[in-house]
Amino acid sequence: MSQQFDVVVIGGGPGGYVAAIRAAQLGFNTACVDAFKNPEGKPSLGGTCLNVGCIPSKALLQSSENYHAVQHDFAAHGISVSGAKMDVGTMLKRKEGIIGKNAGGIAFLFKKNKVANVHGLGVLKGRTGERWVIEVTDNGSVVDTLEATHVILATGSTPRPLPGVAIDNNLVLDNAGALALTATPKRLGVIGSGVIGLEMGSVWKRLGAEVTILEAMPTFLAAADQQIAKEAFKTLTRDTGLDIQLGVKIGEIKTGKKSVTVAYEINGEKKSAEFDKLIVSIGRLPNTAGLGAEAVGLQIDERGFVVVDDNCHTNLPNMWAVGDVVRGPMLAHKASEEGVAVAERIAGQKPHIDFNAIPWVIYTSPEIAWVGKTEEQLKKDGIEYKKGTSGFAANGRALGLGMAAGTVKVLADAKTDRILGVHIIGPFASELIAEAVVAMEFAASSEDIARIVHAHPSLSEVLHEACLAADKRALHG
């Protein structure tokens, strides 16, 4: 006998679990089916983000930053520490503890909101009358059959493989392997200088690895504002000590017993490098394999994404899709907002997501964050703009923190002064960007921020100053 629901969500990551909670809050009888198992083989809600993505990477970034600070930054405060040691095992245990706490938190929220928590792989089987049929399997056996009026697909993404290179998570690692190394490798290679490459490269560099990042594109962080990207390149290579090689063509990758050799070409020159571990982080692919898309006629595009309209509705009646499995940036907050919006649409509401105001953050040191258009995009679109920049170098709070590297750049419409983009490299850019997002959502002008009182001393004064600079009346520049 099938269990019947108003809404079944397939996938329990930030897109799916949030959609399920919101649907339940709106009065729908809701189930969430998720297949993720932790290394102990136990179900663990939260998807990629919580288990092998956003949260564990930030935990390791913090641990490695602390270790780095003890060694390099404390002396300036008059604190001398000798014999500081890094116990990678304790660091990993702390990370696992954070994951466990948050995953348990989602299970608790499911109980609180009466969301049925179903563990297993959800497969679309077809229709019975007006309802969709979803079969749930676990370890190859059918464990449940669910029927739903509405289905929300939130199956996320998996690492994009490099042809001919097998991920064994021993020598050649994907994101899960990169987050679970039990010792610091002496020589770490990374293919791809995107977000994962830079974050994971920073972690292991601070813990003592020599890190070489091999990037195919000739441009560093091509999606970011290039003024900020250039500053980031300089800081990450000079201060963090990452060896980032751009414009690389990867050749044969040979896995030995204890090391991996990567042949590559750069500026027409053939080279080869041997690494103790190699991370492959060259993007992610939507996760639709085994979902039953073909069986029900679900439209998938040529890159494997579930095709949706602006409302996250698929080509099938009452079937929706959110998060990494659909177009748009692969970010947890984007997935969650789509999940909420779909639940509300099912309830007949008319939510709206402003895709132009989705913040990006790269948690390197210093952090990089942006929202809205880059200077390159504005030029390409022929939009006249003015810009204001201000550095952290003279900011009292940044100096007190010992984190005075970085810049805030504000781009505003030349005529209306409406803020079109804000780009930050600097301390706590991940937090500072929130003010810019709010400003853009409220269609603020740079003058609006320039006229708002910002606490002193605070990092937010640098955004304030950049807005003053956009109007050519910087006080400290």
Looking at 173-284, list the stretches that DSSP marks H as alpha helix, in order from N- to C-terminal side.
Answer: 175-178, 195-206, 226-235
Picked from ligand FAD, ligand NAI, none, the partner binding residue 156 (CB below 5 to 8 A depending on kind) is: ligand FAD
- Nearer to ligand NAI by Cβ, of 69 and 216: the residue is 216
Among 147, 324, 375, 417, contact with ligand FAD (rule: CB under 6 A): 324
Could you tell me the two tokens for 14? 């930030």
Per DSSP, the residues of 130-164 read: TEEEEEEEETTEEEEEEEEEEEEE---EEEPPPTT
Neighbouring-strand partners of residue 273: 262
Residue 64 binds to ligand FAD (criterion: CB under 6 A): no
189 φ, ψ (degrees, to nearest 5)? -100, 145
Neighbour-count burial of 474, counting CB atoms closer than 10 A to its CB (0-12 exposed, 13-18 middle, 19+ buried): middle
Near ligand NAI in 349-368, by CB under 6 A: 361-363
333 binds ligand FAD (CB under 6 A): yes
> Strand, coil or helix: what is 31?
strand
Extended beta strands in 256-366, E state = 260-266, 269-275, 277-280, 284-286, 319-321, 360-362
Whole-number Å distance between alpha carbons of 307 and 467: 39
Bridge partner list, 33: 10, 118
**Which of 251/396 has CB closer to ligand NAI?**
251
Judged by CB under 6 A, the chain residues 300 through 339 that form the site for ligand NAI are 329-331
Whether 77 is a known active-site residue: answer no
The answer to the question of residue 185 lying near ligand FAD (CB under 6 A) is: no
Query: Which residues inside 257-286 make contact with ligand NAI, applying CB under 6 A?
Result: 281-284
The closest residue (CB) to ligand NAI is: 194
Note whether 23 binds ligand FAD by CB under 6 A. no
Cis bond before residue 457 (omega within 30° of 0):
yes
Site string for ligand NAI, 109-148 (x = CB under 6 A): ----------------------------------------
Among 19, 31, 207, 250, which residue interacts with ligand NAI (rule: CB under 6 A)?
250
x-marked contacts with ligand FAD along 74-113 as a string, rule CB under 6 A: ----------------------------------------
Please select the residue that binds ligand FAD; options are 121, 221, 260, 342, rule is CB under 6 A.
Answer: 121
Check residue 407 for interaction with ligand NAI (CB under 6 A): no
Alpha-carbon distance 159 to 457, whole Å? 42
Q: Is 354 helix (H, G, I), strand (E, B) or coil?
A: coil
CB nearer ligand NAI, residue 432 or residue 468 = 432
CB of 329 to ligand NAI, least distance (A): 6
Residues across the chain: 477
Question: Residues binding ligand NAI: what is the number (CB under 6 A)?
Answer: 25
- Binding residues with ligand FAD: total (CB under 6 A): 35
425 membership: H or E segment, kind and range: strand 419-426
Region 279-308 residues binding ligand FAD, contact defined as CB under 6 A:
287, 291
Q: CA quadruple 317, 322, 326, 328: dihedral positive or negative?
A: positive
In the list ligand FAD, ligand NAI, none, the entry touching 197 (Cβ below 5 to 8 angstroms by class) is ligand NAI
Our CB check for ligand NAI shows the closer of 123 and 191 to be 191
Residue 275 touches which member of ligand NAI, ligand FAD, none, C-beta under 5-8 Å by kind? none
From the list 119, 150, 352, 456, the catalytic residue is: 456
User: Binder to ligand FAD among 6, 34, 147, 231 (CB under 6 A)?
Assistant: 34
Longest dimension (CA), the chain: 73
- Burial bucket for residue 377 (CB in 10 Å: 0-12, 13-18, 19+): middle
Q: How far is the CB of 446 from ligand FAD (least distance, A)?
A: 26
Q: Is the dihedral of CA 122, 123, 128, 132 positive or negative?
A: positive
Binding positions for ligand NAI, rule: CB under 6 A: 162, 191-197, 199, 214-217, 248, 250, 281-284, 329-331, 361-363
